Amino acid sequence: DTEVTQTPKHLVMGMTNKKSLKCEQHMGHRAMYWYKQKAKKPPELMFVYSYEKLSINESVPSRFSPECPNSSLLNLHLHALQPEDSALYLCASSQLVNYGYTFGSGTRLTVV
Amino acid sequence: GIQVEQSPPDLILQEGANSTLRCNFSDSVNNLQWFHQNPWGQLINLFYIPSGTKQNGRLSATTVATERYSLLYISSSQTTDSGVYFCAVNTGTASKLTFGTGTRLQVTL
């Protein structure tokens, strides 16, 4: 299995809602990542988990809360988002820091 | 932080044409990857190429690490090659994969 699976593919949520994005990989990778991509821009790093511990938080607002329950799963909990948080959210994994990254197909989030 | 610039920003080709995309980076890198992002947003890994040359079918890539650039060659382009091409790099021991500015490619019939 050489895939990173993200669910849901599309999500529309109100500003008072709580929702979660899920990411799963079964490649034995020990690093997992959340990226955010706005339209016509490159992806930007949000969080890095290494060996299930948060190692990088790129000054992301607290309304985004990551969680790594085990080495195969990565969640992103969303609460009280703003319309400007609408974007494509991409999950990725890698064996180690300087090995190739594999990306999921993303969750397209719209905040209304 | 490291700066990653890609050129050209936009490219329109007729089917069957060849093209070269360039990625310049401002510091030494340990990892360089080329990705193709299709219209649905999927980032597809094309090459892991911190140095040297690799080929995969109609695509090939060369990274000259000492001169801080990488090239992606697309030969005999097809409409399915349309999308955005990103290079992305890691430096040192950082886990942060930094993406370039992207090249938007449109292949027409």
pLDDT at residue number B69: 98
**Regions of chain A with pLDDT less than 70:** 1-2, 97-98
A99 and B93: CB-CB below 8 Å?
Answer: no
Distance from CA of A60 to the nearest CA of B (A): 14
pLDDT at residue number A47: 95
pLDDT at residue number B56: 96
Of A42, A50, A100, the CB nearest to B100: A42
**Regions of chain B with pLDDT less than 50:** none
Distance from CA of A1 to the nearest CA of B (A): 15
Partner B contacted by A55 (CB < 8 A): yes
pLDDT at residue number A88: 98
Residue in A6, A3, A11 with CA at minimum distance from that of residue A35:
A6
pLDDT at residue number B32: 94
Distance from CA of B44 to the nearest CA of A (A): 7
pLDDT at residue number A100: 86
β pairing state of A31-37 and A44-50: antiparallel
